[in-house]
């Protein structure tokens, strides 16, 4: 496989927008192309993530639509849907397209619009990522899935609600340093613990918000990347793993085996291990999800992810900074865009461009994106010369 680099990134402000997902993507992609110093005509393919477009915007065929709105209607375009991991799955396939020599420049990204519908509607649409016959019929929600994980983790390891709350407090603090974040406001442990229950034991402030937004990254072959405007950030690995769709088929709800498998594959591709990682953007759709992910990625021993958050080890300035962008919790979670936005943040960190949220001396970064009911996980690794 040829080496692949990220040479441009772009992210919209996350939050509420009065624009379509295609328009949001076009803004992010336009910024990514300016960052890369390339004209739109340089793009040879678009790999696009969008999840609930058919529900919230009554729109299918969102890939070509996004390409048309961007003004590159003739490039081959494919939409990826792996629930919340969609644009990270798109990224992995784009890496393979360049790595295999098919293309030299590929645009990857995603966008989502959900704040144009009610919370009841979006709760229902997100639940479509669980099984229609076996799980949706029970009234299972997305917070409900992670509540089952949280309860199992608490029972097995003694993880506390205060430890989960510490993740929210930390990510909100990081979010204050990110001008693109949906929430740029600190919160207290007490506020988290006293917020209303959504799915016991997860409270409102344990949950990431519904978000509109777009994100894009420009990938290039080594030959193109060497001549790019910005220092290339190399893709050291990009791996995917899946797991049983049904909660009932998962053997141990305190773990996310797909994270463990994707991480093992990524570390093996790069010849690196968790001890080599300096900065992480991971999928904190719920506070417990961050705790379980830090364990699954091998950053902390099983059962100690909650302690790591509580002790500040995962804060910027701590020994293993996690989600300097504010994470899904504070930056926001426009599901089709999230994977690309995480990659944009790690690229920004490795370029040492992250300003007040910069992780000092970051040389190797990791992104982790989880889809739906823990059945899809993508892990990618990035480095600089």
Residue among 2, 102, 155, 188 that touches another protein (CB under 8 A): 155
**CB closer to another protein, 58 vs 133:** 133
93 tagged catalytic: no
Q: State the number of binding residues for another protein (CB under 8 A).
A: 36
- Map residues 187-216 to x or -, x wherever contact with another protein holds by CB under 8 A: ---------xxxxxxx--------------
CA count, 13 A, side-chain hemisphere, 228? 29
> Which residue, 17 or 151, has its beta carbon nearer to another protein?
151
223 binds another protein per the rule CB under 8 A: no
DSSP 322: B
Could you give the residue ranges of the DSSP H alpha helices within 107-177? 119-127, 142-157, 161-175
Q: In this structure, are residues 52 and 112 in contact, taking their beta carbons and an 8 Å threshold?
A: yes
The residue among 40 and 257 lying less far from another protein, judged by its C-beta, is: 257
Q: Which residues contact 39 (CB under 8 A, 6 or more apart)?
A: 33
306 closest CA partner among 298, 316, 314, 318: 314
Residue linked to tokens 């899809």: 376
Strands 376-383 and 4-11: unpaired
CB of 18 vs another protein, minimal distance in Å = 24
Rounded distance between C-alpha atoms, residue 63 and residue 23, angstroms: 12
Please identify, among the stretches 73-81, 85-93, 242-250, 305-313, the one whose residues bind another protein according to the rule CB under 8 A. Answer: 242-250
β-partners of residue 79 are 48
207 flagged as catalytic: no
Torsion sign over Cα 71, 77, 78, 80: negative
Alpha helical stretches, state H, the chain: 21-36, 53-56, 62-70, 86-99, 119-127, 142-157, 161-175, 189-194, 222-226, 257-270, 287-296, 305-310, 327-331, 338-350
* 246 near another protein, judged by CB under 8 A: yes
Contact 171, 323 (CB under 8 A): yes
CB of 148 to another protein, least distance (A): 4
User: Please, which residue, 9 or 129, has the CB nearer to another protein?
Assistant: 129
Tell me the CB-side half-sphere exposure of residue 215, using CA atoms within 13 A. Answer: 28
Cβ distance to another protein smaller for residue 23 or 124? 124
Nearer CB in complex with another protein: 151/172? 151
* Residues 259-298 close enough to bind another protein by CB under 8 A: none
CB of 287 to another protein, least distance (A): 14
Catalytic residue, from 17, 84, 285, 368: name it: 84
- Residues 89-148 within binding reach of another protein (CB under 8 A): 119-121, 123-124, 127, 133-141, 143-144, 147-148
The residue within the footprint of another protein, chosen from 72, 106, 247, 375 (CB under 8 A), is 247
Active site amino acids? 84, 333
Which spans of this chain sit near another protein (rule: CB under 8 A)? 119-121, 123-124, 127, 133-141, 143-144, 147-149, 151-152, 155, 196-202, 246-250, 253
């Amino acid at each position: 496989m040829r080496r692949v680099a990220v040479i441009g990134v772009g992210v919209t402000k996350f939050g509420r927008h009065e624009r379509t997902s295609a328009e949001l993507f076009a803004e992010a992609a336009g910024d990514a192309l300016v960052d890369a110093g390339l004209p739109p005509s340089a793009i040879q393919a678009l790999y696009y993530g969008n999840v609930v477009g058919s529900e919230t915007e009554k729109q299918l065929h969102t890939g070509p639509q996004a390409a048309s709105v961007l003004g590159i209607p003739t490039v081959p375009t494919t939409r990826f849907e792996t629930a919340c991991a969609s644009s990270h799955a798109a990224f992995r396939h784009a890496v393979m397209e360049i790595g295999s020599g098919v293309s030299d420049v590929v645009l990857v990204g995603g966008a989502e619009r959900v704040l144009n519908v009610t919370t009841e509607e979006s709760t229902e649409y997100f639940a479509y990522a669980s099984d229609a016959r076996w799980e949706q019929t029970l009234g299972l929600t997305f917070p409900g899935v992670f509540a089952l994980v949280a309860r199992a983790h608490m029972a097995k390891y003694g993880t506390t609600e205060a430890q989960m709350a510490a993740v929210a407090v930390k990510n909100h603090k990081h979010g204050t340093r990110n001008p693109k974040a949906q929430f740029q406001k600190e919160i207290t442990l007490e506020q988290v613990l006293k917020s209303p229950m959504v799915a016991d034991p997860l409270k409102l402030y344990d949950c990431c918000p519904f978000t509109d937004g777009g994100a894009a990254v420009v990938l290039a072959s080594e030959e193109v990347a060497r001549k790019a405007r910005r220092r290339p950030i190399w893709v050291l690995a990009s791996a995917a793993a899946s797991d049983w769709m049904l909660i009932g088929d998962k053997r141990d709800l305190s773990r996310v085996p797909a994270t463990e498998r994707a991480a093992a594959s990524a570390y093996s591709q790069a010849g690196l291990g968790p001890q080599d990682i300096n900065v992480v953007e991971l999928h904190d759709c719920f506070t417990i999800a961050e705790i379980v992910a830090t364990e699954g990625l091998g950053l902390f021993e099983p059962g100690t992810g909650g302690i790591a958050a509580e002790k500040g080890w995962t804060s910027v300035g701590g020994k293993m900074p996690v989600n300097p962008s504010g994470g899904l919790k504070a930056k926001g979670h426009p599901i089709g865009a999230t994977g690309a936005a995480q990659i944009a943040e790690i690229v920004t960190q490795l370029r040492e461009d992250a300003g007040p949220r910069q992780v000092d001396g970051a040389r190797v970064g990791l992104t982790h994106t989880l889809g739906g009911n823990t059945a899809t996980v993508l892990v990618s690794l990035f480095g600089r010369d």
